[in-house]
Amino acid sequence: MEDFIWLIPLMPLLGAIINGLFGHVLKGKAGLIASIAVLISFLYSVKAFLMVLDGVTFDGDLFTWIAAGSFQANFGLRIDQLSSVMMLVVSGVGFLIHVYANGYMHGDRSVGRFFAYMNLFVFSMLMLVMGNNLLLLYLGWEGVGLCSYLLIGYFYDKPSAAKAGLKAFLVNRVGDFGFAIGIFIIFTTIGTITYSGIFENVERLVSAGVVTTASLLLFMGACGKSAQFPLYIWLPDAMEGPTPVSALIHAATMVTAGVYMVARFSFLFSYSETAMLVIVIIGTFTALFAATMALVNNDIKRVLAYSTISQLGYMFIGVGVGAYAAGVFHLMTHAFFKALLFLGAGAVMHSLADETNIQKMGALYGKIKITALTFIMAWLAISGIPPFSGFFSKDEILANAYAYHPLVWFFGAVGAFITAFYMSRLVFLTFFGESRVDPEVEKHIHESPRVMTIPLMVLAFLAVVGGLVGIPQFVADLWGGSNHFHHFLEPVFAAANERLHLAHLSHALEYGLMLASVLIALGGIYLAYLMYIKKAIDPDALAAKYKGAYTTLYNKYYVDEGIDAGLLNPIVVMSRWLWHFVDERIIDGLVNVSAKIVMLISLLVRRVQTGYVQHYASVMVIGVILVLGYYLFS
Amino acid sequence: MALESILFWLFAMLAVGGGVGVVVHPNPVKSALFLVVTFFALAGEYVLLMAHFVAIVHIAVYAGAIMVLFLFVIMLLNVQEESRLAGVWGFMRYFSVVLFVALFVQLGYFGYQGFFGAENVPLVRETEIGTVEQIGTALFSQYVLPFEIASILLLTAMIGALYLSKQKLGLGEPARAARVKEALHEKEEAH
Amino acid sequence: MEMASLLNIVTFMPVVGAIVLMMLPRNENQLIKSWAFLVTLVTFIASIPLFWYFDGNSAEIQFATVASWIPFIGASYHIGVDGISILLYLLTTFIMPLAILASWNSITERLKEYMIAMLILESAMLGVFISLDLLLFYVFWEAMLIPMYLLIGIWGGKRRIYAALKFVIYTMVGSVLMLVAILYLYFLNHNYTGGYTFDLLAMYNLNIPFGVQIWLFLAFALAFAIKVPMFPFHTWLPDAHVEAPTAGSVILAGVLLKMGTYGFLRFNLPLFPNAWEYFTPMFLYLGIIGILYGAWVAMVQTDVKKLVAYSSVSHLGFIVLGMFAMTVTSMQGGILQMINHGVSSGALFLAVGMIYERRHTREISEFGGVTRAMPVFSVFFMIICLSSLGLPGTNGFVGEFLILVGSYQSVPVFTIIATVGIIFAAAYLLWMFRRVMFGPLTEKNRSLTDLDGREITIMIPIIVMIFWIGIYPSTFTQKTEKTVVALLEKAKAAQVAYQMEQQREFPVEAQVITDSK
Amino acid sequence: MLSIPVHYFLILGAILFGLGVVGVITRRNAIVIFMSIELMLNAVNLTFLAFSNYLNNVEGHIFVFMIMVVAAAEVAVGLAIIVAIFRLRETVHVDDIRLLKW
């Protein structure tokens, strides 16, 4: 395996370098190069995946990266079940989005730059999932953060875009701060940062009593990257980037890095019940919290962004309760249908002259059929309608949550209801009902070109059937099959599963929960149907009735404002005070005072210097007399 | 009183008188002439000290060359008689007398204390020290290096004087000299 | 043996170049510039073999030259390099051609004198890094001040005189105390051995009493802390940087500040290990205060150059932390970070200089949307900012991370606080970047022209270094490793010996001290 | 033979030297100050010759020679400077030339 896996991250890097250096010459060809680069990565990833399927894994170093004193970090890759799945998702979905972007970004003035960033992102993301040590994970971690920053701020002329990029980077840095300290603790305790080394020495972390601290710090990093409460604030703003970026980075791949990390360190997290509990609590809270914000938002991309945050919360519930495979499974299906949703949203915007307000859409179904159909499939998948992919993965998480604690299941189910509702709202307002489109724009509505619709169709296919690889065991038993996905990932999570002993639910309960999920999803959809198609319930009247709740939700719970007023402004004010008072008054003041004292003294002394030669001469003579006197009379 | 004594006192009084004249006479030309008197008187004292060669050189260099130079410059610059300023200058005049007395007392005390009653040496000895031969031998043997350096010093002074006296003032082109002049005036006014 | 003479040649080549330059005609600007550039470039090229042939497997002083200098007081011309100085030596020769190139068009007045000052400055800086004789070190240390003073004072901005004076007086206050300490050491050595010498290696073997160490340490430390500059001795830096011409800032940030940290490692640690231990908490506090304080104050600056200047305070705080944490990893990181800071901050100043040359202002609010007008510049500027804020894959990350991971082993709490600094590093740099480079292109910036060939030539070596150190730092760390290990071993041994002694004399108290650690 | 004691010469030298000092300090005209300096130099010459004669030693004469050389050089350069200053300032009064202060 060693002979080709290094090519997998290298190809996108090459693509990034070529596009970065010659993008302005290549122009239209930039997208082609970028797509081919990712395609090659994807094909090699498939090859690697097939080899892993045969039971061949790889863990080896390419070269020494940093070595100083006892610290050593190598450029080493690890291909096992988990990373091969991630590689497939990253390069596969990545490739589709690259193809789509060829159409979406057509005619942009700096496509070369765009595709360079995109390729750089794929490279970083692949490094993130393929690295065999914490530092390489960190490299990919910050690398994707950088690309996210660059791509969000791709339209740098727009102040809001530039601002959103900065916000994304800084919030991520806060998470990385925890991540870094987690690395320090692990290294200090056991003296190595490779996955295999940590795996072997995890007992030392336990006996040193730092396992909970280390886990929580790593999770802090995950919170930042995966937009969990309270570090989720950057993700909605990140929608300022071009839509393919939102699909690739802020839905399918980068934001799931946190889930990947927790899954990767399942053996570590499973040692700390506290850490697991914290993950569950934060995941549950985020799933609900973000879903409520999606209820009232009118920006098609922002609704999807809140939905992403919420879905990530589900994934964390999964990995938090110990159902790592379920979490990763949801990660994968989510990558399919959420990428599809974003790309679909992009296609809608494309046909509506970049309109994002869903209140100005409606009745688009007949005009852009392919987009609408694929979007609807994704909607059904995320709402949890069987047999679409989202149903299986979400259901599995909820079932495991029930086993962990019924309360978690309850909140998850509420979240699922809200999800079904707001997604239906989105779909109904966009594609059905009466048209509210600007008449001027309406004339030009057109279906997107092939290069955009084909990726949509491929993703739609995946969103529909993707869930079938992970049919729950008790269902598969009906025809003697098995949960392939679980089995495949088994080796990675064996150590954690062994320690956790997940409670098994009875088949009856499992069926009951499954049925409940379906009913909940249908309920949500029906409510939306009543409100937005049938108009049986007037949403505006509802909003007017619960004005306080509505405005709070509409203003996203005032979290951004709170952070500005409570954290950022005080820091800025304090910094100004430090600068103007401490630096300029106290320190420079002391320096200047001492200089002034010297100056005062010299003001007196310099009176001696009259400028008259004779005065100087007299002083000289006086000196001569004194010296002579000293010799003569002493 | 021996002839030497008479000559000594005569020359001494001439020298001191000339010196006083140099210092007090307001007219620089007359000061210069007083200085000539002093130089001649001193040459006489040198002769009394049996330093004939030095005496001649002294006349030639000082009275002949340097004094002519002085007078030449005075005439060239057309210097007026100097008028005394009140205040500082009045004080300086009295103060200088104090300094004079102090210096005189010290130097005189030194000479008196050190040499009063010392045995007088004969002016004519078997080995003459003031002769041209003596001095020449010393200069060209033992002191040949200082002698050569002295010539370089003179050369340097000559070049320096030439350079300074050029119209450019060593400051570049005349326009620049004018600028410097202006700047100096400004600075002065600022004071 | 040839390497030793090469070291001498490289060190004094710039001065020889300066002497030749003095004879060149005043008005031939092109000739003067080209000559100065050629000299620095040849110096750099000639210094590469030194790095190449430097044996990283030895902690010894290499390429040493010992010659009698002022025999009757025991001062000798003793130079040589070890793992720490070789990197800084190379950094100096690397930065200088870039600095000359950076002043290609911006210096129009007194070009000849400017270039002479630059060349003399280079020799003096190189001398500081290789002197192994205290008096020789002091001479170079002071000699470097004069050209720098002139660079700021003659070719600087509006308040240049104030800044130049502040720079010199601050530095002098420290170095005068250092001179006193050097003389004290000189006579102390005489008392012990009976001989008179200023040789540093001889001083290393002195066993200085603790009480004396404290004072000597403080005297040396003050000189170096001002140079670093550590909080609260940093206020000369923003002024000097803002007023200095671009090349001056580059040299100031790139090389001069490193002399402070270098001095700590060359003098304070090996000469006064026990005092070092005693003062460690204080310097750790100053280090982390510097990190956060510098970052915060940098964040609210309105002048780009001042922002970069304060960022230096923050970055150097990391180096101080790394040095005083006293682990091999952290100290290696500290040394690497000296190089990184030299490259990255130097590059930041170059970049700021490039836009200053175009707009003649450095106010952040004057800019906006520059990326649209200067796309190539924005790429370079971005990479430099990223390297400065420590993005993995660039040089800044390697140094910072090594410092932090090493420091965590010995001083975890300080390290955690210091790590907060990386958040703010991103904040002030990227915030500045957003305000200057992003947003709509304002009318004033519409006419900005992108980088020309010369400016791209300046940037490319820097970018290469940024990625080289970021991706394969072993080239550099392997040269320092042995030296650092030996340095730490020696210092730790001295510290342990002192503790043992304390225990023998005051068994109870010493017990309490060691327990409380 | 000779009845003039050596300290007569020394005291005469002291008087002349003092007069020179008074001249340097009190006069405003740079040229006269110069002349006063010459007076002081001559006083020194006299002292040298007196000692030379008293000690029967030729070195005093050599010294006087050197002093004359220095005096000549000094007068040449000094007067040139005065001329230069006069051209610039149209004065040779030293109290008008007092910018070198503070």
3-state class (DSSP) for residue C363:
strand
User: Considering the domain boundaries, does residue C4 fall inside one?
Assistant: no
CA distance A121 to A140: 9
Shortest CA distance to A186 belongs to which of A201, A167, A171? A201
User: What pLDDT score was predicted for residue C42?
Assistant: 94
Whether omega before C375 lies within 30 degrees of 0, making that bond cis, reads no
Subunit contact C438:A180, Cβ cutoff 8 A: no
Sign of CA dihedral B177, B179, B184, B189: positive
pLDDT over 70, % of chain A: 100
Number of domains in chain C: 1
Count CB neighbours of C357 within 10 A.
13
Q: Which residues contact B176 (CB under 8 A, 6 or more apart)?
A: none
CA distance A133 to A263: 14
Write out chain B residues lying below 8 Å of A612, CB-based: 88
The ranges of chain C with pLDDT < 50 are: 1, 510, 515-517
Q: Which residues contact C35 (CB under 8 A, 6 or more apart)?
A: C17, C20, C21, C24, C115
Distance from CA of D99 to the nearest CA of A (A): 6
Q: Do chains B and D touch (3 or more CB pairs under 8 A)?
A: yes
Four-CA torsion B103, B109, B111, B113, nearest 10 degrees: -160
CA distance C298 to C290: 11
Distance from CA of D70 to the nearest CA of A (A): 20
Alpha carbon B183 to chain centroid distance? 35
Sign of CA dihedral D65, D71, D74, D80: negative
User: What pLDDT score was predicted for residue B120?
Assistant: 57
Query: How, if at all, do strands C75-81 and C62-70 pair?
Result: antiparallel
pLDDT tens track for C297-319: 999 999 999 999 999 999 999 99
The number of residues making up chain D comes to 102
Subunit contact B127:D32, Cβ cutoff 8 A: no
Of A139, A156, A587, the CB nearest to C392: A139
Shortest CA distance to C91 belongs to which of C53, C50, C132? C50
CA distance C461 to C52: 18
Residue C411 tokens read as 């001083």
Shortest CA distance to A399 belongs to which of A513, A547, A311? A513
Q: Whole domain around residue C440: which residue ranges?
A: 285-480
Subunit contact A614:D98, Cβ cutoff 8 A: no
Count CB neighbours of C100 within 10 A.
26
Q: Tokens 């690890």 — which residue? A: A78
Write out chain B residues lying below 8 Å of D25, CB-based: 92, 95-96, 99
Distance from CA of A592 to the nearest CA of D (A): 21
Four-CA torsion A463, A469, A473, A475, nearest 10 degrees: 60
Subunit contact C296:A571, Cβ cutoff 8 A: yes
| DSSP 8-state class, residue C446 | T
Secondary structure in 3-state letters for chain D = CCCCCHHHHHHHHHHHHHHHHHHHHHCCEHHHHHHHHHHHHHHHHHHHHHHHHHHCCCHHHHHHHHHHHHHHHHHHHHHHHHHHHHHHHCCCEHHHCCCCCC
3-state class (DSSP) for residue A257:
helix
DSSP H or E run through A68:
strand A58-68
CA distances from C114 to C36, C96, C104, C240 (A): 10, 13, 11, 17
- Complex ipTM above 0.90? no
User: What pLDDT score was predicted for residue A14?
Assistant: 92
Distance from CA of B66 to the nearest CA of D (A): 7
Phi, psi dihedrals of residue C28, rounded to the nearest 5°: -85, 75
Subunit contact D69:B188, Cβ cutoff 8 A: no
Q: Which of A610, A614, A615, A626 is the mutation pick for testing B, counting most B CBs within 10 A?
A: A614
Q: Whole domain around residue D67: which residue ranges?
A: 6-89
Shortest CA distance to A176 belongs to which of C401, C155, B169, C223? C401
Distance from CA of D85 to the nearest CA of B (A): 9
User: What one-letter code names the amino acid at A448?
Assistant: S
Which chains lie within 8 Å of chain B at 3 or more CB pairs, if any?
A, D
* DSSP string for residues in A317-344: HHHHTT-HHHHHHHHHHHHHHHHHHHHH
| Average pLDDT, rounded, for chain A | 87
DSSP H or E run through A64:
strand A58-68
Count CB neighbours of B170 within 10 A.
11
Number of domains in chain D: 1
User: Considering the domain boundaries, does residue D101 fall inside one?
Assistant: no
The number of residues making up chain A comes to 634
User: Considering the domain boundaries, does residue D56 fall inside one?
Assistant: yes
User: What pLDDT score was predicted for residue B170?
Assistant: 47
Subunit contact D32:B103, Cβ cutoff 8 A: no
Subunit contact B103:A621, Cβ cutoff 8 A: yes
The ranges of chain A with pLDDT < 50 are: none
Helix C210-227 vs helix C160-193: angle between axes, to the nearest 10 degrees?
Answer: 160
Is-contact C351 C367, C-beta < 8 A? no
Q: How far apart are the first and last CA of chain B?
A: 61
pLDDT over 70, % of chain D: 94
pLDDT tens track for B10-20: 999 999 999 99
**Mean pLDDT in order along chain B per 10 residues (191 residues):** 83 93 86 92 89 89 86 80 58 84 84 65 59 85 91 91 70 58 67 57
Distance from CA of A546 to the nearest CA of C (A): 39
User: What pLDDT score was predicted for residue C88?
Assistant: 93
Sign of CA dihedral B32, B34, B37, B43: negative
User: What pLDDT score was predicted for residue C511?
Assistant: 52
Interface of D with B in 4-43 (CB under 8 A): 4-23, 25-29, 31-32, 34-36, 38-39, 42
Secondary structure in 3-state letters for A182-219 = HHHHHHHHHCCCEHHHHHHHHHHHHHCCCHHHHHHHHH
User: Considering the domain boundaries, does residue C169 fall inside one?
Assistant: no
CA distances from A57 to A54, A76, A84, A267, A552 (A): 9, 13, 9, 18, 51
Residue C166 tokens read as 């502040």
User: Considering the domain boundaries, does residue D1 fall inside one?
Assistant: no
What CATH number is given to the structural domain containing D27? 1.10.287.3510
Of D26, D33, D101, the CB nearest to A610: D101
Q: Which of B25, B73, B132, B165 is the mutation pick for testing D, counting most D CBs within 10 A?
A: B73
Q: Do chains C and D touch (3 or more CB pairs under 8 A)?
A: no
User: Considering the domain boundaries, does residue D97 fall inside one?
Assistant: no
Subunit contact A618:D95, Cβ cutoff 8 A: no
Is-contact D9 D45, C-beta < 8 A? no
Of A64, A66, A177, the CB nearest to C419: A177
CA distance D96 to D86: 11
Shortest CA distance to D80 belongs to which of D24, D22, D34? D34
Write out chain B residues lying below 8 Å of D23, CB-based: 22-23
CA atoms within 13 A on the CB side of C187: 7
Distance from CA of B103 to the nearest CA of A (A): 6
Q: Which of C159, C405, C478 is the mutation pick for testing A, counting most A CBs within 10 A?
A: C405
Of A173, A579, A588, the CB nearest to C422: A173
Q: Do chains B and C touch (3 or more CB pairs under 8 A)?
A: no
User: Considering the domain boundaries, does residue C243 fall inside one?
Assistant: no
Sign of CA dihedral C410, C412, C414, C415: positive
Shortest CA distance to C271 belongs to which of C189, C334, C329? C189
Subunit contact B99:D11, Cβ cutoff 8 A: no
Distance from CA of B23 to the nearest CA of A (A): 14
3-state class (DSSP) for residue A357:
strand
pLDDT tens track for A599-630: 899 888 888 777 788 888 888 999 999 998 88
Domains of chain B in start order, with CATH, are 1-81 (1.20.120.1200), 143-191 (no CATH)
| Average pLDDT, rounded, for chain D | 85
User: What one-letter code names the amino acid at C401?
Assistant: F
Within an 8 Å CB–CB cutoff, is residue A612 touching chain D? yes
Subunit contact A583:C420, Cβ cutoff 8 A: no
Is-contact D92 B79, C-beta < 8 A? yes
Within an 8 Å CB–CB cutoff, is residue A563 touching chain C? no
| DSSP 8-state class, residue A538 | -
Write out chain A residues lying below 8 Å of D99, CB-based: 611
pLDDT tens track for B43-55: 999 988 888 889 9
Residue B183 tokens read as 């700047």
Phi, psi dihedrals of residue A163, rounded to the nearest 5°: -65, -40
CA distances from A24 to A149, B4, C148, C376, C451 (A): 21, 110, 42, 11, 16
Is-contact C362 C241, C-beta < 8 A? no
